């Protein structure tokens, strides 16, 4: 029994940077999106989405995608800056929203014969209002797809899947923090991981359900639990211990949609 479409899993990529000797140090996660405009001549606009902090202070990144004819994984080096040092990726106008969107060159993808799996911007994403109206709330199950702790297979591009649940997704929660709170184990390397709503057929009587997988947000950090150790004589803090609380901050999908709409509006305005 499969609950996550294969194209969703194949749309998630590991992000790395090349070291001085040419090796790749895998450090984050991203996922591929596409918007198709059908007004006039049909045109596809592909994007790589991750966190802003995954792209910041880097001139180039490397990702792995699959070739159409052989299924072989190939490494693509993607520039993040233009010739003048300006970012090629787009970020949200709110500096607290840790999302970055890098438009991809269709010609480059075709030249490398890339099998391009992606999330459809206008069909596979669900914003927080849609989430609540479809019956999702605290306790609804979600998946996180990503590459924590550099756990990248040599001959497979499949991400690691972790199961969790929505801890809090109220309108107030999002207005105050810009985040959905998710109960899930999020570790270094998961930055930029998509959060997928698990499809459900059974719900409490009188409540709606969402029978399809939807991309509902992007992970950007976890909430640490900190404990101060104090010297009993001096009453001074001598050590601060920090550990993963198991709660993760997730920007809801509307922030991704806002960015995509700025880059490629859903409809071309008439003149």
pLDDT at 1: 59
DSSP structural state of residue 198: P
Q: Smallest Cα–Cα separation from 215: which of 252, 180, 243?
A: 252
The two beta strands, 119-120 and 24-37, are parallel
Are the C-beta atoms of residues 165 and 139 closer than 8 Å to each other?
yes
> 154 pLDDT band (50/70/90 cuts)?
confident
Separation between Cα atoms, residue 128 and residue 111, nearest integer Å: 37
Copy the structure tokens of residue 245: 């609380």
Higher pLDDT, 204 or 236: 236
Question: What digits encode the pLDDT tens for the residues 43-55?
Answer: 899 999 999 999 9
Question: What digits encode the pLDDT tens for the residues 77-95?
Answer: 999 999 999 999 999 999 9
pLDDT at 139: 93
Copy the structure tokens of residue 194: 């998509």
Separation between Cα atoms, residue 188 and residue 16, nearest integer Å: 13
* pTM metric for this prediction: 0.91
Degrees to nearest 5, angle at CA 248 with 153 and 188: 35
pLDDT at 148: 94
Across the range 114-119, mean pLDDT stands at: 95
Across the range 152-171, mean pLDDT stands at: 93
The mean predicted confidence, pLDDT, of the chain is 92
Domains in the chain (CATH in brackets) are 6-227+242-263 (2.40.10.120)
Question: What digits encode the pLDDT tens for the residues 229-248?
Answer: 888 888 888 888 888 899 99
> 109 pLDDT band (50/70/90 cuts)?
very high
């Amino acid at each position: 029994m499969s609950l996550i479409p294969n194209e969703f899993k194949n749309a998630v990529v590991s992000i790395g940077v090349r070291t001085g000797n040419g090796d790749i140090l895998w450090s984050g996660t991203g996922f591929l999106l596409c918007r198709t405009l059908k007004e006039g001549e049909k045109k596809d606009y592909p994007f790589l989405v991750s966190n802003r902090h995954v792209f910041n202070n880097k001139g180039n990144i490397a990702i792995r995608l699959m070739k159409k004819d052989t299924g072989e994984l190939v490494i693509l080096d993607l520039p993040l800056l233009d010739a003048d040092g300006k970012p090629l990726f787009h970020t949200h106008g709110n500096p607290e929203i840790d999302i970055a969107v890098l438009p991809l060159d269709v010609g480059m993808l075709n030249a490398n014969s890339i099998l391009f799996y992606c999330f459809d911007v206008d069909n596979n994403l669900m914003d927080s209002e849609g989430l609540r109206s479809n019956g999702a709330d605290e306790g609804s199950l979600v998946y996180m797809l990503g590459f924590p702790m550099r756990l990248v297979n040599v001959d497979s591009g499949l991400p690691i899947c972790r199961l969790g649940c929505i801890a809090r997704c109220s309108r107030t929660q999002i207005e105050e923090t810009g985040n959905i709170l998710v109960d899930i184990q999020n570790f270094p390397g998961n930055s930029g991981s998509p959060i997928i709503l698990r499809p459900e057929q059974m719900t409490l009587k009188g409540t709606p359900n969402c029978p399809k997988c939807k991309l509902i947000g992007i992970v950007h950090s976890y909430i640490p639990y900190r404990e101060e150790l104090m010297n009993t004589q001096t009453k001074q803090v001598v050590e601060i211990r920090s550990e993963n609380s198991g709660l993760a901050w997730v920007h809801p999908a509307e922030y991704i949609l806002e960015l995509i709409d700025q880059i490629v509006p859903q409809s071309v305005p008439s003149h």
